Every structure is written in C-alpha cells, then in structure tokens.
C-alpha cells in the first residue's frame, strides 16, 4: 500500500537534490521580496515592525505560488504524470505525496529562513516563534490549494500567470489567519483562535484538495 507512495516521495526528493537550484530560487525570491519592502516604504523600525507580519506572509505566499508551476509541469512534459494515472493506487494519494514532497522542498525552507527576515524587520523573539508556527501550519495549506491551480493550468500557455489569478483569491483565508496570528502576539493578545482555525483549515485542505487536484489532472490529461 505505502510502497508506491514511498517510491514517489523518494523520487521527487532525489530529483530535487540533483537540482537544488530550483528550491533555492524559491527561497531567494522570498528573501529578495522582503528586502525590497523597506526600500519602498522607508527604514523606520517601528513602522516596519508593524507591517512585518503582512509583508512576510505575502512574500511567502508569492514564493509558494511561483514554485507551484513546477509541481506537475515537469512530470507532465516528460510523460511520467501520464504513467502515474496508470499506477494501481488512488491518484489522490499520489497527488498528496507529490504535494508533501513539494512542501518539503519549498515550503519548509521558507519556514526555516523566516526568522532571519523577521529579525531584519524588527520582530521580537516571541513574535518570531509565532511567525514560524503560523507558517508551519499555513504553508502546507498554500501548497495544497495551489496544487489545484497547478493541475488546472497544465499544458496551457502562460500557465504561471493564470495560476496566480486562479489561486490568489483562495489564499485570502490562510493569509488573514497566519498574519493575524503574528499580529495578535504583537498586540499582546492570544493567537490561540488563529492557530486553531489554521489547523482546522489544514486538516480540511488535507482531505479535500487532493481529490480536486486529482480530478483536475485527469481532465487536463484526457
């Protein structure tokens, strides 16, 4: 039962290790976008601090979205995605495995690098911990929802831009909750509610989105 999923996970991680630049580009994008914000709005530490939760979350969200285009497109181009439809295993589980691998390669590094950027924007230690926690819960949601968009734009011209239009409105809830959690800590309030809702959203996305993504893959390969 799990052998095929493990084989797929290992394959995707091996491929990512052989081409580490793909994952590093995403992290690089995240770092550069955050670095550009102070240039646009001024260096005042207190002001930057108050904007930090939103800036970090929007940057992370854009980074995830940029990386999504490659989630299925390589497999689509060389025909391995087609072969995956013929694997005697529910396509939803295969898709979920691919999303998990993708999150390990792109989402997790964003979580790990975020404290560095948070320090640049003058967040305090407890806020940084909350930021990492919120990103840890939130980036999988971004990958799970985004996978639907990645599947729906397979083989289309200008797929990358189209993904943005399809997916970004759906990113509003995790953005609100994730940035809100950090904001709450900043204002001395409890972020319990934010985290609970983010967690609930992740569980829901975990169960619901892989099937939508699988349906989309089948349609686009029909």
Partner 1 sequence: MSERGIQWFRFTAPANFYDLAGRLIPWFAALTIALFAAGLYLGLVVAPPDYQQGDSYRIIYIHVPTAWMGMFLYVLMAIYAAIGLIWRIKMAEVMAKAIAPTGALFTFLALWTGALWGRPTWGVYWVWDARLTSMLLLLFLYLGYMALHAAIDDRQRASNASAVLAMVGVVNVPIIYFSVHWWNTLHQGASITVTDAPTMAMIMFVTLMIMVLAAWMYSIAVVLARARVELLERERNARWVQERLEGGKT
Partner 2 sequence: MADREFRAVDLAAERGERRLFQHLDFTLSPGQLLQVSGRNGCGKTSLLRILSGLSRPAAGQVYWGDEPIQSVDGGTGSCLGYLGHQNALKEDLTAEENILIAGGLGGARPNREAVLSMLASLGLAGYEDLPVRYLSQGQKRRVALARLLLQPRALLILDEPYAALDVQVIEVLRSAIEAHLARKSMIVITTHQTVDIDGDCRNLHLG
* Residue numbers at the binding site for partner 1 (CB under 8 A): 148, 152-153, 156-158, 162, 165-166, 168-170, 172-173, 176-177, 180, 197, 201, 208-209, 212, 215-216, 219-220, 222
With CB cut-offs between 5 and 8 Å by kind, which of partner 1, partner 2, none does residue 139 bind? Answer: none
CB of 45 vs partner 2, minimal distance in Å: 45
Task: Select 82 or 126, whichever has its Cβ closest to partner 2.
Answer: 82
CB of 133 vs partner 1, minimal distance in Å: 18
CB of 88 vs partner 2, minimal distance in Å: 3
- 163/168 Cα distance (integer angstroms): 8
Rule CB under 8 A: which residues touch partner 2? Answer: 3-4, 6-8, 10-11, 14-15, 18-19, 78-80, 82-90, 221-222
With CB cut-offs between 5 and 8 Å by kind, which of partner 2, partner 1, none does residue 15 bind? Answer: partner 2
Task: Select 48 or 148, whichever has its Cβ closest to partner 1.
Answer: 148
CB of 119 vs partner 1, minimal distance in Å: 25
CB of 219 vs partner 2, minimal distance in Å: 10
């Amino acid at each position: 039962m799990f052998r095929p999923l493990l084989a797929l996970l290992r394959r995707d991680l091996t491929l990512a290790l052989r081409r580490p630049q793909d994952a590093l580009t995403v992290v690089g994008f995240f770092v550069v976008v955050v670095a550009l914000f102070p240039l646009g709005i001024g260096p005042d530490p207190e002001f930057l601090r108050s904007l930090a939760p939103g800036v970090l979350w929007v940057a992370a969200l854009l980074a995830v979205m940029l990386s999504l285009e490659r989630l299925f497109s390589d497999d689509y181009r060389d025909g391995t995605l087609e072969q995956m439809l013929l694997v005697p295993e529910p396509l939803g589980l295969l898709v979920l495995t691919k999303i998990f691998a993708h999150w390990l390669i792109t989402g997790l590094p964003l979580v790990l690098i975020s404290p560095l950027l948070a320090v640049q924007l003058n967040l305090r230690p407890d806020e940084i911990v909350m930021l990492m926690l919120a990103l840890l819960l939130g980036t999988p949601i971004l990958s799970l929802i985004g996978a639907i968009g990645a599947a729906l734009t397979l083989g289309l011209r200008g797929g990358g831009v189209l993904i943005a239009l399809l997916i970004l409105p759906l990113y509003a809830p995790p953005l609100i909750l994730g940035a809100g959690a950090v904001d709450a800590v900043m204002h001395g309030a409890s972020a319990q509610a934010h985290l609970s809702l983010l967690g609930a959203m992740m569980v829901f996305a975990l169960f619901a989105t892989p099937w939508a993504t699988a349906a989309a893959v089948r349609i686009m390969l029909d």
